[in-house]
Structure 1
């Protein structure tokens, strides 16, 4: 009877070992989370560009420093906190799309890569330097490279799709040439022409939402909005010349009793320009298609 019990115990151990071995094979076959192997050094920073915003970073030891890069949503910077550490360590990242990333980190005097596109690494491709779309906080999920391409397209096409908004004073003409939309971003194409022989130096350009019927404005009656990107910002318009600029904003909608006011101020001068954009004009924004390269 005792021999039978021993035999049964041995059989149980063998079965447990087989099950454990199968679990290990399952993990090795890709059913577990396989970590990426990353080289870091003390004197340089490695940047990881993720396909979506980073929500969580956890370090395995104090041998490394890792965290989100300032001002961007989907970039993590990593470097060695201790020069020449010998034991490998790890860190983990969770992104807003729910993806969990695990990294094994080793020290190298000269890391093979300093800028890594995680989209390529996830796809099994060799990660290359650069090439990833950095998600800047003020642009939300929009790729800055794509936003720049949209603005470049508006500038190069140089169409005048809006013909009723602008101002003309003191030999200066400011025109709103077009209002465009791409996903959640709004673009204003503005031109400034100088018909005089005196150069016009741009001090600043201000955008604010104001009440239509209030002559004397107060802080409670106006809201200043800032562009998230500017293409071909103008600082000076020579005499008998002109220039154009494109501004990108987050989504803007305004009530019917307000409008968007655009003010262009001259530095050390008084030839200021001002025009207004109605909500009806904003909601009639045109789509951008066939971007220029």
Structure 2
């Protein structure tokens, strides 16, 4: 009985994580369909060696997806419908589910990003490319407190935009409700009293807009900032705040130095 409850719990957590990350499952011997209420005007596959996808000619609100072969890890699928951009993770699994409703997934309105250099649908695709790599280039930028680990894994540069990849791990039995992320450039830590000036930095794009991290779960997120460098004797701080009663929420912050930004990888 305990074993059965354990298996059901794992399945539930996996399903919840899958839904939170906007993912679908495909295999090579079954066709999976994504159904939209409106006509689909754009379709892009992340890795053509893993999956194939097409808009059904007779039904332009329908996308057919199949796996090319059994594969590990994830790839991505980006769709545009009714001026909304949907970006999905695609995993391999011999599942019994053969259809998905597009409007059930999160979307980004087309054209509301302010970078001006990279189209919004491409930002979504680049975010998926980063998250599918699962590599850690920056080793020392992490903080752990009260069972929550907050880490900067990578910084990428594309068309004068900086892509910050963050990893958040909840190692406790309590869910972590995210109140928000704050970014600012301020003076390096001083042990003597001094006048400290802080300059807020507003990310122009957040891939998942994470608001909740379930117990025993690891999630990854991508933020996009305009290209910047940090003045001497200053530092970029990324702070994650927990939503809780009063001022009792767990708070973690990371410090990013100029050398981290100068080592940003292009892609």
TM-score in terms of structure 1 length:
0.50
* Greater share of residues in strand: 2
Pair 141,275 (structure 1): closer, same or farther in 2 beyond 3 Å: closer
TM-score in terms of structure 2 length:
0.54
- Say whether residues 1:272 and 2:263 are aligned partners: no
Secondary structure, counterpart of 1:138 in structure 2: coil
Q: Is the 8 A contact 2:113 2:205 kept in 1?
A: no
Pair 179,137 (structure 1): closer, same or farther in 2 beyond 3 Å: closer
Deviation at 1:217, TM superposition (A): 8.2
After TM superposition, where is structure 1 displaced by more than 4 Å over at least 4 residues in a row?
134-137, 214-218
Cross-structure match for 2:146: 170
Deviation at 1:224, TM superposition (A): 0.7
Listed as ranges, the gaps of 5+ residues in structure 1 are 1-114, 116-133, 289-293
Instruction: Give the aligned length.
Output: 156
Candidates 126, 131, 146, aligned match of 1:155 = 131
Secondary structure, counterpart of 1:263 in structure 2: strand
User: Deviation string for 1:106-126 (max 9, x for gaps)?
Assistant: xxxxxxxxx9xxxxxxxxxxx
Deviation at 1:158, TM superposition (A): 2.0
User: Deviation string for 1:109-147 (max 9, x for gaps)?
Assistant: xxxxxx9xxxxxxxxxxxxxxxxxx76572123222222
Cross-structure match for 1:119: none
Cross-structure match for 1:75: none
- Structure with higher Rg: it is 1
Secondary structure, counterpart of 1:152 in structure 2: helix
Following the alignment from structure 2 to structure 1, what is the Cα–Cα distance between the partners of residues 198 and 170?
A: 29
- Say whether residues 1:182 and 2:165 are aligned partners: no
Cross-structure match for 1:95: none
User: Deviation string for 1:207-232 (max 9, x for gaps)?
Assistant: 110100446787x7011111111112
> RMSD in angstroms over aligned alpha carbons?
2.2
User: Deviation string for 1:11-53 (max 9, x for gaps)?
Assistant: xxxxxxxxxxxxxxxxxxxxxxxxxxxxxxxxxxxxxxxxxxx
- Say whether residues 1:287 and 2:232 are aligned partners: no
Cross-structure match for 2:206: 230
- Say whether residues 1:253 and 2:229 are aligned partners: yes
Deviation at 1:201, TM superposition (A): 0.5
* Greater share of residues in helix: 1
- Say whether residues 1:262 and 2:241 are aligned partners: no
Listed as ranges, the gaps of 5+ residues in structure 2 are 1-82, 84-109
Following the alignment from structure 1 to structure 2, what is the Cα–Cα distance between the partners of residues 137 and 195?
A: 34
Q: Is the 8 A contact 1:135 1:141 kept in 2?
A: no
